[in-house]
């Protein structure tokens, strides 16, 4: 279930990022590296325009922000009656592989430009952080 949710989430997020006014497809990798802070900022601003966004019955993308060369996606999970502790314990284990796979497949140009993508998952009920994962181009080398 989490793998499906993650892949769906990634495809929706990346579809939004592909519609950016600053078309990453038009830039070489070296140009993207030279402009990665600007690209990260523009991507976050563009994606944020459509937030919050319901991904599925359990997951909502609540924010997207840029910090230097890191693009940070924050989601809320609503999987009651599971507790925060249960989600902390099993959530990242269940989602890590599909998050890395989806990001490496669909955000390769961002990763090649030395942009790091961070996923943060919070509890919809308590707003507590449950888990997070940073993905960079090295993450894709070890798959």
Positive or negative, the Cα torsion across 61, 89, 71, 128?
positive
Beta pairing partners, 133: 119
In tens, the pLDDT along 98-140 reads: 999 999 999 999 999 999 999 999 999 999 999 999 999 999 9
Q: Residue 20: which pLDDT band, with cuts at 50, 70 and 90?
A: very low
The model's pTM: 0.79
CA pair distance 23, 117, nearest whole angstrom: 18
Residue in 119, 125, 134, 132 with CA at minimum distance from that of residue 88: 132
What residue segments make up the domains of the chain, in order of their start? 2-127
Query: How far is the C-alpha of 51 from the C-alpha of 134, rounded, in Å?
Result: 21
Give residue-wise pLDDT tens across range 73-98. Answer: 999 999 888 899 998 988 888 899 99
Q: Confidence band (pLDDT; 50, 70, 90) for 65?
A: very high
CATH fold for the domain made of 2-127:
GMP Synthetase; Chain A, domain 3 (3.30.300)
């Amino acid at each position: 279930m989490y793998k499906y949710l993650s892949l769906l989430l990634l495809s929706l997020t990346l579809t939004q990022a592909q519609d950016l006014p600053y078309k990453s497809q038009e830039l070489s990798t070296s140009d993207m590296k030279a402009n990665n802070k600007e690209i990260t900022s523009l991507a976050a601003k563009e994606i944020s325009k459509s937030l919050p966004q319901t991904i599925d019955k359990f997951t909502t993308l609540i924010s997207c922000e840029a910090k230097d060369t890191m693009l940070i996606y924050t989601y809320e999970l609503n999987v009651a009656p599971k507790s925060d502790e249960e989600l902390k314990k099993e959530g990242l284990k269940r989602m890590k592989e599909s998050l890395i796979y989806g990001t490496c497949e669909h955000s390769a140009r961002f990763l090649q430009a030395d942009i790091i993508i961070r996923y943060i998952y919070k509890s919809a009920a308590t707003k507590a952080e449950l888990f997070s994962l940073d993905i960079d181009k090295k993450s894709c080398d070890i798959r």
